[in-house]
A and B are shown apart, each in its own frame.
Chain A
Amino acid sequence: MSANIVKLLHASDVQLDCPLRQVGTVPRDTIDLLASATLIAWERLIDAAIAHGVDALLLTGNTFDAAAESLAADVALRQGFERLLEREIPVFVVPGQLDPLMAWQEFPAMPENVTVFDSPWDAAVDLTDSGRLLARIFPVSAVTDISPPEWHRLQGTVQGLRDANAVTVGILWCDRTEGISRPIDTDERRLASVQVLACGQNVPESALPLIDGLVHAQTAPQAVTADETGPRGATILQFDSQRQLSKRFVPLGPVRREHLTARLEQARHRDELCEQMLAMIEELPAVPGEQLRLVRWSFAGSPAVRHQLDFQEATAHELLETLAGLTDQPTGLRYVHELVPLWQEQSVPPELGELWRDYLEYYDERPPLNEDELRQLALELRPQQAASSGPWERGLAQLDPTAVHQRARRYARKWFAGH
């Protein structure tokens, strides 16, 4: 650790041992990697903290999923913290949606280098090196205020130059089960005077306080959902001697997710389309540590081009099989190619456009069905099965009526474009 440099490694939404979602069908020999992707990312996070000699590790929520009750998450978390303890690297944790404070409190005693903030009003923790104050770590929420250093100087609470040059870092309190459980209006938001506020990427604006520094919203070290495309990792927040912040991305995720769209107009035949897709794959920047790429493919093109190429669902699958054969390396970087249903990208033929518009018009006129109405619908369509309670009720209970409504709206394209 250099004399005047402060390095903090910020990770968020680690989601230890959370299975990757929307993966689709994958080869059997990739399941182990997919299943342990978040654990591998966590191990790499610890390795990175040690290798870069950071002053502290900040975990800003959703470190694990308490509902999953995962043993592997427990083990990985503890082992990681213990490794950091050996290197005397402190860890600062705020709970999140998935890992509420109660879940942290249920853990057996954590290693002494781990600080789990209990509430957004917890006192700041000083990060020191040989008695020299490097940084002050604050738990922060939209309604907790942190006075500027000038105020403390006026109040005489700053202990001379020793504190004056310390970095003030806020960690956003994300646990909705504790503290703030309702949306905060803009005028209720307080001022938190920190040089940087570390939080997860999916935090809404309303959850942030007003700050005079920078907000660093960190993505997950391993992409869990299909929308999280591109390289994933953590960030080293480095303050130089002038307390200027610079950021350095550290790639961690072994599984990378991508969504690519091939343009049918740019291909005269299927071989050219395959070459185009291969070029798109090769243009993806390589990131160290990648072991598997999950690529979802869409095919954009007018009905005329689709007709010209005789581009059907089976054609697309054949293309993806060919592409997998060209890209997948069983002993190297693995590739899994998945097809987004063609109808999602297809345009409705002009002769059916009127019907399509009618459908959308009628559909938008009707209000979304609530759970009871959906139950009634099931009773009408499946009177025998729905007469008795069964798994269908559980399925219904887990459904989001809004999602059903939106999906049914999207199906307009399925019926009229996918014809």
Chain B
Amino acid sequence: MRIDAIEIERFGAWRGFAQTLHPEGLSVIYGPNEAGKTTLLRFIRGVLYGFPSGDAGPGRRTRNSDPMSGSLRVRHRDQSYHVHRTSRGDDAGLVSISGLDIGESPYRVLEGVLSGTDEKLFESVFAVGLPELQEFATLTEDEVARHLYGMTLGPQGQLLMELPRRIERELERTWPKDGHRGLVGELQEKQREFGQQLQGLRPQRERYRTLVRQRNDLDRRISGIKHHVVDLQRQLRGHQFLAKVHPAWTRVRDLRRELAAIPDLRSFPTDGLGRLDRLEADRDAAMRTRDDLHGELREIHKQLQANIQDDSIRRFAGSIRSLSEQRSQWVEAEQHMLELERKAAEHDRELQAAVTRIGPKWTLSRLEAMVDTPEGHGRFVNAATQFQQVRWRTQRRQRKYRKISNLCRDRELALRTELMHLGVDGDSLEQPLNIAKQRLAQLTELGHLQLKAGELRQRAQSIDEQIERMRERLGLPDWVWVMLAFFVLAGIGLFVAGLSASVSTGWLVGLIYMVLAITAGGTTWALKVQFEHEMQDQVAGLREQRNRYDSQRYDIERRIFELIETHGLREVQRNPQAPLDATDGKLISLAADRLAQLELAQRDLQRILDTRKKLSIVRGNLQGYQREFAAARKMWCDTLKSLGYDEVVDVPVAFAQWQAVTQARETRRRGADARRELRGLREDWDRYCQKVSDLGQRMRLGNLDYSKPFAVLERWEGELRAWIHSRQEYRRLLKERKARRVEVEDFQKRVDQLQQQVAALLQQANATDRADLERKLQLFQRRQQVVQLLEQGQRDLESIAKSEPELAIVDEDLSRFHEESNSEAIRRISRDSAGAEHQLEELFEELGTVKQEVKALTTDRQASRVRFEAQQTQERWHDAWEDWYATAVSAETLDTVCAVFEQAHQPEMLAAAIPFLESLTLGKYHRLWTQLGRRQLFVDEENGTPRSAHQLSGGTREQLFLAIRLAMVKAFARQGVELPMVLDDVTVNFDQERSEAAVKTLMDFVQDGQQVLVFTSHLHFAQMFQQHGVEPIWLPARERAENPTMWEERLAG
């Protein structure tokens, strides 16, 4: 992009300024201080990127409310644009670009012209003043540095550039330089807190160990005392044992002595006397019983002779018993038969009632003719199910049809209401829609035309103002008038002098003077005419342009009138009498709203039509379903008919009839069953009576009434019972006689045995008779008594010994036993034992206290938590330190990597800047380099000594930075970003030689087409360019007194 001309209508101090720039690429604009150079720079930047709101200071906001406007004529890729920007003073301004196609966005075109660059880049790289240049000293200006490195070093350089800062951040976060605590400090503090807590907990362990030792010691002492107590108790038990065992021991000793004096009758029967008495009594009793039994035998014999009878009934006893056993059964059967008769009658009544309930046309014969099989029931149920399903399906579809129909009707109603609201009659929306679309297009066109007319009006007005300003400037400058006046006066003087000379001296002299006078006057007239002619040409051109604008505006307004009047556009606004203004978008919005509503209505109408179509389809289907339903109903009726039921459509009614028929048939079946059973029972009864009669004939008992079989049987049973009783009595007597005979024999044997036992007893006791036996028995009993007493004494001794198993009975000690001395020893030992027990209690109390304290210590687990958290803090602290040192160590290696990398990979930009630097510094510096990520520039002197940019003089540093800017502009140009470079007094610190070098450098720089605008307030610098054939543009100096308001405004620039 190249700027061809600058046209300022109003901006800062500038009013109506227009300046064409040199086509060669280098434009030098000279103006003294406060001539408006920087304002021009800001203007260029403002037109391209938007007027900054800061240009209107707070104090001047009101006066700057006049619009800032101006334009740049630019050329971009062989196409010219007139970029115009207008701002009310507090915004970036509106951009318009002339010559664009309709609908083409001026902003997009402008963005293309600027190659997508933003203002920041332009300001920092392309349009710079001395401050921006000096800001570059530390490369802290991110935009520039990013481009400086990023454009050339690639991702490796980017990373190496970024890493030092990242590492520094990490190092700083962990252990800051500035004395803040940082991560390690915080962790250190936490660690200290936890350390204190742990320190406070540490004595607890020693206390615990001390307590455990105390507990162990107490346990040991308690154990010792317990042993002592046990010893004392053992001694006490010994003495008590002696006192207890001595009487028993003495008694045993005496009994042993007595026992030794009594003879030992080992086999003597101790119960001999009693046994003798019992044997003699038994013998006498047995003899008496034997005699009684003989008498009983005789009596039994007599009874047997009297109990012999006739036993003819015995042969029929089985038949009688059999018939008798059946009697109870037949008693119950009689009751059952009566019950069956009652049930049969009842079922007949129920059946009649059930048949009546089924229906009026129903009879017993019809009921019997019914098909009552499972297959028939299955057919009935299947037919009912199928018919019911078809009916439900049909009803469901009918409901669906009604639902869709209702929905369609509701939508139609809603649509008609909406159409009435929109003022549309009829069913078709096509025409209103077309009208609305046309109306929207007409209003849109109207808006465009009105905007265009307004713009043309504004442009015409602007031209009027410009012409007015040119008229004001039409008069020649004062110095021209002075010169002209001088020439006129000189001519008049010369003419007068010529006349005088021709009279006094000669006509030739007078003629010369007159010619000179005519020449002066002519020159004056020619100058005036020439100057005014140029101005008039410009005015004529502007007027012609204005006429063109007026003509275009007239055409547009005519078109507007046609649109309004022909298409009746006034109707669209609420007040038809008001002027129609479509530029604010309200009318377009109204028309668009109406169009949108109509389109919505159109969609609703379409949906209604679709619903109607669907309804038609559903209706067609419904007819098919109706036919299906009729067929199902016919099949259902046929099924009912074939099964014998009434033909009904209602399935529940049919089911109710089916249930009633089933119940009636069940009642009929139960009645038939009851009758069948009654008939069988009566046949059995007749057979039973016949059996009784046959038995009576066999028994030849003809005079009995067999119609009452139970009475006959009862009589026979009585006779049979009497015969059985007599027979049983006879057998009993026989058995009794036999038993008595055996008993008589047994008692005789018993008498003999007892006699033998008496003799054996006397022989065993070695006694001759009963008296001898009694004497020997007394001796034996005494010995037994002594033995028992001795055994008791032994047992007492043993029991005493068992009570003290650890002590033994020592006869020697017992023989020496002295009761008083023993009692004294017992008292003494008891005293000692009580003392030991008391001591033991004290120790136990102490032990309990220790255990309590131990328990209190062991239940506290706070220390574990503190230790855990302390460990975590310690780990983090350790990790932070390790991380810090590892990062620091790593950073050293990274430095090496960076150093190697920067040797091989200096930014290309710096390499590209070196020729410019050499040129600007007259070859003094020929190497430019930087440390990656450090953002410091270094130059090598002729002798190779590196010097940082900080160490250079101000002028040289600015030459360095200018060289880098030039290289960057070139680099951007290679990337397709071609923007003019604007330098605002960047050479103020250059000496004469370096200034000339700068002029030469810049002239070389623009050789390949780059445009550069050099603003300078130094005349000598402008003259240097002039000497090299570049004619500066001389900005006029402005007088403060001439226009104080303007001066004040320009101060802000």
User: Which residues of chain A have a CB within 8 Å of any CB of chain B?
Assistant: 17, 19-23, 31-32, 34-36, 39, 68-72, 74-75, 78-79, 106-109, 349, 351-352, 354-355, 358-359, 362-363, 366, 369, 374, 377-378, 381-382, 384-385, 391-392, 395-396, 398-399, 403-405, 407-408, 410-412, 415-416, 419
Contact = CB atoms under 8 A, between A and B. Distances in A.
Given A363-B893, A391-B185, 20 more contacts: A19-B870, A21-B871, A35-B864, A39-B864, A69-B202, A71-B208, A74-B209, A351-B155, A352-B155, A358-B901, A362-B893, A366-B893, A374-B885, A382-B175, A385-B179, A392-B881, A398-B878, A403-B882, A405-B886, A408-B885
A72 B885 contact: no
A198 B328 CA distance: 95
A75 B208 contact: yes
Given A72-B861, A385-B175, A411 B897 contact: no
14 contacts: A20-B871, A21-B875, A22-B875, A32-B865, A35-B869, A71-B208, A75-B857, A75-B858, A351-B154, A352-B156, A385-B175, A395-B878, A395-B881, A403-B882
Interface in B530-587: none
A31 B184 contact: no
Contacts of B863: 17, 70-72
Contact of A359 (B202, B861, B868, B894): B894
A367 B926 CA distance: 38
B1007 interface: no
Interface in B287-321: none
B857 A71 contact: yes
Contacts of A415: 159, 163, 166-167, 890, 894
Contacts of B869: 31, 35
B864 A72 contact: yes
A268 to B, nearest CB: 28
B414 to A, nearest CB: 44
Chain A CB within 10 Å, residue with most, of B154, B171, B185, B893: B893
Nearest to B854: A75
A362 B861 contact: no
A411 B890 contact: yes
B156 A351 contact: yes
Given A17-B864, A75-B208, A384-B179, A355 B881 contact: no
A384 B177 CA distance: 8
A68 B198 CA distance: 10
A389 B160 CA distance: 34
Contacts of A17: 863-864, 867
Given A107-B209, A377-B889, A395 B871 contact: no
B201 interface: yes
A106 B213 CA distance: 11
A351 B155 CA distance: 7
A396 B880 CA distance: 11
Interface in B309-351: none
B888 interface: yes
A378 B875 CA distance: 20
B864 A377 contact: no
A381 B885 CA distance: 10
Interface string B148-176: 00000011100110110011000100010
Given A74-B205, A395-B184, A395-B881, A408 B897 contact: no
Interface residues of B, number: 58
A202 B378 CA distance: 84
A74 B184 contact: no
Interface of B: 154-156, 159-160, 162-163, 166-167, 171, 175, 177, 179, 184-185, 188, 201-202, 204-205, 208-209, 212-213, 216, 857-858, 860-861, 863-865, 867-872, 875, 877-878, 880-883, 885-890, 892-894, 896-897, 900-901
Nearest to B883: A407
A107 B154 CA distance: 68
B205 to A, nearest CB: 4
Contacts of B860: 71
A404 B870 contact: no
A36 B864 contact: yes
B893 A78 contact: no
A232 B967 CA distance: 68
Given A21-B871, A385-B179, A408 B184 contact: no
A71 B213 contact: no
A355 B882 contact: no
Q: Name the 4 nearest CB pairs between A and B, nearest first.
A: A19-B871, A35-B868, A395-B881, A407-B886
Nearest to A356: B897
A385 B889 contact: no
A391 B897 contact: no
Contacts of A355: 156, 159-160, 897, 901
Given A71-B863, A362-B893, A396-B881, A411 B886 contact: yes
Contacts of B175: 382, 385, 392
Contacts of A412: 890
A399 B885 contact: yes
B882 A71 contact: no
A359 B893 contact: yes
Contacts of B877: 395
A108 B864 contact: no
Contact of B867 (A32, A70, A352, A411): A70
Nearest to B204: A71
Contacts of A79: 858
Nearest to B175: A382
A31 B156 contact: no
A32 B866 CA distance: 10
Contact of B212 (A36, A108, A381): A108
Chain B CB within 10 Å, residue with most, of A20, A35, A79, A398: A35
A416 B171 CA distance: 18
A354 B201 contact: no
Contact of A358 (B185, B872, B900): B900
A10 to B, nearest CB: 25
A381 B208 CA distance: 48
Contacts of A419: 159, 162
Contacts of B886: 404-405, 407-408, 410-411
A381 B171 contact: yes
Nearest to B158: A419
Given A354-B156, A415-B890, A391 B188 contact: yes
A399 B867 contact: no
B171 A405 contact: no
A411 B888 CA distance: 11
Contacts of A68: 867
A109 B218 CA distance: 13
B865 A399 contact: no
Nearest to B859: A75
B882 A31 contact: no
Contacts of A74: 205, 208-209
Contacts of B184: 391-392, 395
Nearest to B900: A358
Nearest to A366: B893
Contacts of B883: 407
Given A404-B882, A405-B889, A412-B890, A70 B205 contact: yes
A408 B887 contact: yes
A393 to B, nearest CB: 11
A16 to B, nearest CB: 10
